Copies of this chain bind each other. A is one copy, B any other.
Amino acid sequence: MIERMTSQKEIILKYLKSTTSHPSAEDIYLEVRKELPRISLGTVYRILATFKNKKKIIEIAHEVSRYDANTDPHSHFICESCDNIYDIEIPNFKKNINKRGHNKASCLKKIFGDFIKVGKINNYQIYFYGKCKKCSKK
């Protein structure tokens, strides 16, 4: 099966790369409809699934799934008040995560202990739940 480039894929990825708002499939559908008025929601879901398989995007499974084209290692802060999701940089996290046996004196070891014993980690997601600054000011 040779993959074909289509305007649907192109425009969805372009939109995801242009935003940090972590839109849902529905949000993406409503947005790209401005350029592709005949696109269907099923197409959006299918294209998002293929992007996820190819690791072009990340799925955030909090209530309805939301999507993020930022594939650099980072985490998310979910405001329980406004439901916005904010990107969080956690430098050096994944890089060190499988280094059991190495860096014994390292900070990671001290904090996380020997939790890697359950298996081999391919990936991780950290979700922080709280109230964002904007909502705290209200």
Write the residues of chain A forming the contact surface with B, with a CB cutoff of 8 angstroms: 61-63, 75, 77, 79-80, 86, 88-93, 107-108, 110-113, 115, 117-133, 135-136
Inter-subunit contact B129/A126 (CB<8 Å): no
Out of B77, B79, B92, B119, name the residue touching A86 (CB < 8 Å). B119
Inter-subunit contact B132/A119 (CB<8 Å): yes
If the complex has contacts A107-B107, A111-B107, A111-B108, are A118 and B133 also in contact, measured as CB distance less than 8 A?
Answer: yes
Inter-subunit contact A119/B90 (CB<8 Å): no
Out of B75, B112, B122, name the residue touching A130 (CB < 8 Å). B122
Give the copy number.
2
Whole-angstrom CA separation of A122 from B128 in the bound complex: 8
What residues on B are CB-neighbors of A121 within 8 Å? 77, 128-130
